[in-house]
Structures are given as C-alpha cells and as structure tokens.
Structure 1
C-alpha cells in the first residue's frame, strides 16, 4: 500500500518538539496549509504535548493572539522587512508573526522573543531564513505597538481602513460592522465592538434542562437561565460536561435556542425541527426542552459528518431524536405545513464569533457574503413552507452582517406580506433573560446580541409565524 506523502507543512510540524512556541507554530501551519480551525486543533495539540498551567496559557495566547491580529502584524512585518508579505517564505512568515505578537502583543522580554523565535526558525528547517528573521524581529522590537500603529496609519484617510489597522480587522469587515451597528443608531459603539472582538472570551456552559442545574456548573451567566461560566482549565474535565448533562456553549447560542422553545408555552405532541442542526449544540438544548414539554424534535443536517456530531450531542439528552441527513432546501416540499416550531440556524460567515475563531476574519472575504445570503434565503423559504399555520420559526445567524440578517428578513416579509408575520424576539428574550438585555431597536422585533454589549457572540434572532 502506497503511503500518501505529507504536505510540506505537515513535514515541518512533524519535526517540531513540544514547547509552547512550537505548539503555536504547529497550529499556525495547520491553519495555513490545511484550513484547520485553531479553536478545535489547539486543545488537541496541548494535550498531546502535555502542556498545562503557564505553558498552556502561553501557547494559547500566542496562537490565538497571533491569528487574531495577523493582518496587523503582516503590515508591521512588511514595513520592517522592506518587502511585500507575498515575497516572504511562508514558514518564515508564520515564525515572524509569532515573534511580532510576543514583541507587540505580549509582555515577553525582547531578548527572549527574538532569541527563541529565531531558534524556532532553525527547528522548522528554515535555517536559510534565520538571518532575515533575526533582522526583521530586531527592527520590530525597536518600537512598541502604539508607535507601529501610528506609523502604519500615516497617510491613511478612509475611516474603515484606519479602524481596521488600529484594531486588526479587514476594512471590508469594519464597514459591515459599522453598518450593522448603525441599523440600531449605535454606530458610535464601533471601536468598543472591535476591541471586544480581540478579547479572549470566557468559556460558558449550558446546563441541559432535566439533566443538570446551572448552579452546579459555576458562576451564573447574566442572561441565560441555563448558563454558567466555566472555571479555569479544560471544561471537558467537569463531570457534568463529561457525562453529557452539560455542554460548552456560548450564552448567545443558548438564548437563540430558548427564544424558539420558550416563545410561547409548548404543548405535548408538538413537532419541532432543527433544520441545520450541526454540530449539535442548539439541538441538544432544544431536545432537552422538547423532552420536558412532551414535544418531538427532529434534527436535519446536510453534511453526514456533522450529522454524526449531532447524534453524539443528543446521545445523553434523548437518543430517540431522529437525526436525518438531507438538504434543508427540500424540507418545505417534502413536508409542507408539518412542524410547530422550526429553528433555522443558517449557514453564515460566522462573523459573530470572531473572539472564538481567531483566523476567521482573515479567512473570509466580502465575496463570501452574497452566496451565503442566497442560501439563507432559500433555506428560510423552505422552513416557512414546512411550518404549520400559527407555528413559530426562528431565523438565527452567528453574524451581524446586514446582508445575512435584516436584509434576508426584509426580503421574505416583502414577498410573503400576507402570509408571514414577525414576532417580537426582543420581548421573548426579555421574558427569558435573568437580567435586562439592551437589544437596540431593529425592525420587525429582531434581536441582535453583541460581544461588547452582552459578552456573547453576535447572534441575530428573528422570530416569524405563518398567519
């Protein structure tokens, strides 16, 4: 049997040993070579390297901080190197990014940041670039991040580009976030949002109703009645999480699921559908809520591997839940007017979870939005067709981008003005939340959560009903 050859990045990773810097380098190369997700890969690599305590914390900040501010550091590196980023060897560039974050974004002493990073270049078998890396890092080390930022801003007049340089966001994304805030008349919060996107979030847990209580998990979250903040360390080690009675889940995601299940009192025998259920976090919470109410949940997912993740998520809650593999765009034709409640957690850019997915802001482009918006509109129309008259549909995205949120809803309501009515998601959430939620004033009663305002992912929630 012929063994598949490793990619150059994989060969480099195989040769590195398990120091915090090398673990961070390993993850950066996997993100670059294999489109890996850092938040999924890093915990595995930390366990494999047997890093814990201060070493694990250093590797985590080095990895996430470097990925989060990659575009900013690329501008600094290009300026210090006197050449375009595209002209720098890919391995050397990732090493330089790690060094730049230690020098400009962490409190690492300059001699350690430069010396250890140059040594990492040798271990990565990029010795031919060692002198170059050393020279560039020493140039970067001459000034702090504030000085470098001012240098990069010289001559830049566009406000979105300036904000992007200052806060390490691409300019197109700054423009979209500004527009999203201005829908609420809160454009002045832009800087606060960009700062929040660069802050590491606390891990939150969901106590699945009927299986666990939030008080047993840690400090209560301010809004979700089933949420708690995880203590330091790996949340997977908590007995309730290990048993499946609780899950790691952002508080905004919890509220999105509860907005559907608690929009009105549930009746025994109701049929519920999670239309795009993978990877299963909201499905698990809905399953627990449905079981308590005597309702029946069905979960649908188009990707078989993600459908298997849904099955695993539901195993401890209700293994009897049917998990299907199918295209959600066909549900309306196959099962018209069938379900009393439908969650459409639509595929989206994920721009609301930039705190948790540090590489996403540089991986996505403005061109990604239109195809996803078209898919979201198709899924929403299919979900509407599958909803019984009088039923409740929750349209949810983990993105605040207007083209993925309010524009989708506006188009649907214009097309089905006599058949569909919006429900007040803000009022529903006000009845669920443990403390008052400042949800702005979007049209149609839509709710938009924000990292800077609520400490959650930027979840958009619109409730709809068929007349």
Structure 2
C-alpha cells in the first residue's frame, strides 16, 4: 500500500507529496544538517550506502570536527531508526511518510531523530532542520515539515513507543523498539538457535538487535609483511581484540594513517580479516603435506572490493605463493586491483563469473575463499540502510548462486586443500543450509573445526566462535554483540585425498 501511494505521488496525484515537488535551486551543502540531508536523499534515490557517500560529502563541506560528528550521527541515526520514526510520523500526522516527496520525507525523519533520540532542544531541532530543507530546495514543504515535527515533539520516544506497541505482539514490539523489519527479527531469532548460541533463549536476540544499532568502530588491517600493527596502533589507536592485524582507530580520518595511501594498511572489519586468516591457516597444512608445493596457491572467487584478497595477497607474497582473485563486476574487479597494489606481484585479478573460472581450473588450488554474495544481515551496524532494502525473497534468490559458487570452489580445490565458505550474514538459509546441501551432493569432503582454526588465529577460546557441529568438525559464527565484529559465518571444508 505504501508503495502504491509513493507511485501515485511520483505522478503528481498526491497532494501531500505534491507540495514539495517544485523546488528552488539547491546550493552546495554547508552545514551538518545540510550534509546529512543530502546523503539521506542520495541513499534513497541511488540505492547508495551512507558509509561510502558520507566521507566525501564531509570533506567537500569542510565541516569542523564537531559538525562532522553531528552530520555523521544525523545520517546513521536517522537510517538506523527509520522504521520507528516512520511509525511515529504516521501516528503523529495521520499520514504515511511514503506520501512525502523524498527530500521532505528524509527531513522529517532527520528531525524526528533529533527530537526523539538526541539531546537537542526541540526548537533547534525543528528550526534548523527546516533551514536545511529550504537550503536544499525544499522551501515549499517547510510549513508542512514544521507542523509534522511539532506533533512528533509532543511526546518522548518512550511515550510514542507505549502508544504504538499497545496490544502488539512480541516480535512487533521488538521490531519497533530496535527499528528492524519484523522478518529480520524473526530470522535473527532463528539464527541464534540454529547456530547453537548459548543465550538464544535468554536475551541473546535483544543484545544482537541492540548491537545492530551501535555504530561500528573504524578498524584497520595492517597487512602482513607490509605494515607493523604495533607501530600503526602507537600513532592511530589501539590493537584489535581478535585479529593479529587489527588496529582500532580512536579518532581522525583513516586516510591520514601512515600506510593507507600506499595500500599497506586498509580499513577492514576484524571479522573480515579473520576469514582470510582462517583460510590461510587451514590451507597451510595442505601445502605442508605437498612436497612439490613452492608456496600457497589461493583463489578468491568473490573478491570485490578486495579486503580479504589484500590479506591473502600479502601473506602469499611473504610465502612465495600466489592468489587468483575473481569478480564478475568490472567495477569491483577494479577495486580489487586497487586494494592489492602493495602486493600486486602475487595477485592476478580477473573479471569473470567465479563459477566458470573455478570450473575451468579443477584441482589447482590449495585454498579457495568463497565470500558469497548474501543479504548482509551481519553488517547492519555498518550499513543500517540495508535492513530497509532487503526482503525475505532476496534470501531464496541468492541461494542458487551461493550453492553454485561453493560447488565450483570445491572442484577447483586440490585433494587435501581447503575451501572457506563465508557470508556476512548469520541467516541460517545462507549459512548452514547452503553448506549442508552441498555436503549432501559432493563426496570425499571433511568438515574442519572452523571454531578451532579461529582460536589458533586469535589466541581465543574456540567455543566462543562455535556454531553448529558437523561430523568431525564445527561451523563458526561471529556476532556483533559478542565479538565486536560484523556477523561473519565460516565453514571450512577439506577435499579428502584419494
């Protein structure tokens, strides 16, 4: 219904939306609210991601550190809590935000975030949001926006939640309080149980949903052999809790950190670092048992944008090995080439369908990484807008690609070699189900203890990473609220020797 109303508005037949259609020529964003509103509009219009857009917009606006922090909170906070704010606006104004034109809709959401979730005086939240709307060409909608926000300001967030959740079911209450679509709340609840998380029935879901709304720290990877994490930490932050490569940036622009410009250091979540390191750790045994091996030969089947490839490439360069990196997108293949500049001699990048590339090279690799395309439900703290874009049917649509990539990876892996299957999602249909289906179809496979491999890499407790056990091994699952990483899944499969 909301989509139908939005469609009507695009054809000029919705009065509320129509009030904002004719706009003055906008000027370049100059204030924190103008920058945030510009990014929010671009995120909606172009299906872009705020974490990719916002840094450039902040630099162009030349904001002070304080105003840059405000713009960042306005952008990410509005995106995270969009579901709650839309519900409040519907109740306050008796209208659906989908009936607003895009710029006005985002201004109302941004104003609601200030009124309900930030320590900003009501009059400042309303007036300065309207100033930003006017500056960006939305003067005709300023009166409407003012009226809606004043209605929102009549109650606190808790008071609005009480009204909105009266008589609602448990899932609906959680969905509103944490601003997640209901289907994601249900999917994460199931994931906790299927991955055998100990607190699945005892507060684990609430902790996970809360973690999704907690901003992710900027984390760097000091690539092995190319940068010293202790030296980077001394100048930029502190060492990460899990990855031996990780440095957590305490403040400032990561582009100014020594080594970032030369691709010796890169921004990368600890969970992503660990996936690459786990494949390297597990596959080294295959190389050790092969007397003819001159060094590791690894394949990254879904390499873009290149973070895990960069880790593998740096390791391969140290060990006299090589990496073939493949991505089906020309743009993402270019990003991979840029990511591996510091170890380019050890990495060959190809634009190709990973399934076809692997099938044409049977038995060639000692280790294959399948960082499969997925829903991204494990990275909602980093990309909050993804929760509003994904639909339940997306999960089923991705499954054939995930299965095909894993099957092709196993074909390209030599006997004794290891395939790492990873997703940045804990959704059971993208993780355990995919691996179990492939295991049922492919013979001579051994499930390794992925949790134990992560423990060797991190020096931590294997049980803290453990997911569902399988004969002879275990899957592993990282969680934002437990490990402080994105929600990465890992299965390690070894091709048995004849």
Q: TM-score range by the shorter chain?
A: over 0.9
Q: Is the 8 A contact 1:311 1:319 kept in 2?
A: no
Name the structure 1 match of 2:45: 33
SS in structure 2 opposite 1:465?
strand
SS in structure 2 opposite 1:317?
helix
* Alpha-carbon separation, structure 2, partners of 1:12 and 1:414: 61
**Cα shift at 1:13:** 8.6
**Match for 1:205 among 212, 215, 220?**
220
SS in structure 1 opposite 2:247?
strand
* Alpha-carbon separation, structure 2, partners of 1:465 and 1:251: 24
1:329 correspondence with 2:355: yes
1:422 correspondence with 2:447: yes
Name the structure 1 match of 2:7: none
In terms of mean alpha carbon deviation, does 12-21 or 25-34 score higher? 12-21
SS in structure 1 opposite 2:465?
coil
**Cα shift at 1:231:** 2.4
* Alpha-carbon separation, structure 2, partners of 1:362 and 1:138: 26
Give the alignment of 1:452-467 within 5 angstroms. 452-467=481-496
SS in structure 1 opposite 2:261?
helix
* Alpha-carbon separation, structure 1, partners of 2:137 and 2:362: 60
**Match for 1:166 among 157, 161, 177?**
177
Aligned residues: 458
Structure 1 125/253 Cα, relative in aligned 2: closer, same or farther at 3 Å?
Answer: same
Q: Is the 8 A contact 1:13 1:29 kept in 2?
A: no
In terms of mean alpha carbon deviation, does 13-22 or 102-111 score higher? 13-22
* Alpha-carbon separation, structure 2, partners of 1:21 and 1:123: 10
Give the alignment of 1:83-102 within 5 angstroms. 83-102=95-114
* Alpha-carbon separation, structure 2, partners of 1:13 and 1:227: 45
**Cα shift at 1:389:** 1.1
**Cα shift at 1:272:** 0.8
Name the structure 1 match of 2:389: 363
Structure 1 433/228 Cα, relative in aligned 2: closer, same or farther at 3 Å?
Answer: same
SS in structure 1 opposite 2:481?
helix
Aligned-residue CA RMSD in angstroms?
1.8
* Alpha-carbon separation, structure 2, partners of 1:262 and 1:272: 12
**Cα shift at 1:367:** 1.2
Q: Is the 8 A contact 2:328 2:354 kept in 1?
A: yes
Give the alignment of 1:217-236 within 5 angstroms. 217-218=232-233, 219-236=238-255
**Match for 1:136 among 148, 168, 172?**
148
Structure 1 332/316 Cα, relative in aligned 2: closer, same or farther at 3 Å?
Answer: closer
**Match for 1:74 among 86, 91, 99?**
86
* Alpha-carbon separation, structure 2, partners of 1:14 and 1:124: 4
Give the alignment of 1:302-381 within 5 angstroms. 302-381=328-407
Q: Is the 8 A contact 1:290 1:296 kept in 2?
A: yes
* Alpha-carbon separation, structure 2, partners of 1:44 and 1:12: 24
Name the structure 1 match of 2:431: 405
**So what's the TM-score if we normalise by structure 1?**
0.95
* Alpha-carbon separation, structure 1, partners of 2:154 and 2:252: 36
Name the structure 2 match of 1:4: none
Name the structure 2 match of 1:192: 207
* Alpha-carbon separation, structure 1, partners of 2:378 and 2:183: 15
**Cα shift at 1:386:** 0.8
* Alpha-carbon separation, structure 2, partners of 1:74 and 1:16: 28
Give the alignment of 1:57-68 within 5 angstroms. 57-68=69-80
**Match for 1:251 among 270, 282, 285?**
270
In terms of mean alpha carbon deviation, does 37-46 or 239-248 score higher? 239-248
Where structure 1 has 5 or more consecutive residues not aligned to the other structure, the ranges are 1-7
Name the structure 2 match of 1:3: none
* Alpha-carbon separation, structure 2, partners of 1:220 and 1:270: 28
**So what's the TM-score if we normalise by structure 2?**
0.89
**Cα shift at 1:381:** 0.7
Name the structure 2 match of 1:389: 415
* Alpha-carbon separation, structure 2, partners of 1:356 and 1:338: 36
Name the structure 2 match of 1:215: 230
SS in structure 2 opposite 1:243?
coil
Q: Is the 8 A contact 2:316 2:346 kept in 1?
A: no
SS in structure 2 opposite 1:242?
coil
Deviations 1:417-449 (A, max 9, x none): x32121111111111113335124412311000
**Cα shift at 1:12:** 7.5
SS in structure 1 opposite 2:48?
coil
Structure 1 27/152 Cα, relative in aligned 2: closer, same or farther at 3 Å?
Answer: same
Where structure 2 has 5 or more consecutive residues not aligned to the other structure, the ranges are 1-19, 289-293
SS in structure 2 opposite 1:396?
strand
Q: Is the 8 A contact 2:98 2:105 kept in 1?
A: no
* Alpha-carbon separation, structure 1, partners of 2:24 and 2:401: 38
* Alpha-carbon separation, structure 1, partners of 2:318 and 2:345: 14
